[in-house]
């Protein structure tokens, strides 16, 4: 693929603009929920043949799961009922990492599908609550 020269582009630039038909392109940007990476491969007619997206949720997955686990462990205590309010509090551990999830799935606070399963020390299910 041929790229335009500085002489062909007017004004300040931080990128090269293709002058032919690009066959591959990568874009990386810092988005509100983390680094967003797009990688596209096109055929000779410019049709997308392969696409790989790495989104903020992927980058934040480990931290997200640890936060939800910590919130659940801090909030769920022996003898304490697992209520809708408790699920809402656990859900709050998720939202800072992936606020886009609530918009993309059109959920409202307190309406996100969520399941909490409490296990005893021997691994048996003590209680399960979901919405």
Q: How confident is the model at residue 108 (pLDDT cuts 50, 70, 90)?
A: low
Q: How confident is the model at residue 106 (pLDDT cuts 50, 70, 90)?
A: very low
Stated pTM of the model: 0.51
DSSP state of 109: T
Decide: helix, strand or coil at residue 27.
strand
pLDDT exceeds 80 at position 13? no
The answer to whether residues 131 and 84 touch, using CB atoms and an 8 Å cutoff, is: yes
């Amino acid at each position: 693929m041929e790229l335009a020269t500085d002489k062909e582009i007017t004004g300040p630039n931080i990128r090269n603009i293709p002058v032919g038909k690009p066959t591959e392109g990568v874009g990386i940007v810092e988005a509100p929920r983390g680094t967003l990476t797009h990688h596209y491969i096109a055929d000779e007619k410019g049709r997308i043949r392969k696409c790989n997206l790495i989104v903020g949720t992927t980058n934040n997955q480990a931290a997200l799961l640890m936060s939800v686990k910590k919130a659940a462990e801090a909030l769920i205590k022996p003898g304490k009922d697992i209520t809708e309010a408790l699920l809402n509090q656990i859900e709050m551990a998720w939202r800072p990492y992936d606020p886009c999830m609530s918009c993309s799935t059109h959920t409202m606070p307190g309406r996100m599908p969520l399941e909490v399963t409490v296990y005893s020390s021997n691994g048996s299910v003590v209680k399960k609550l979901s919405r």
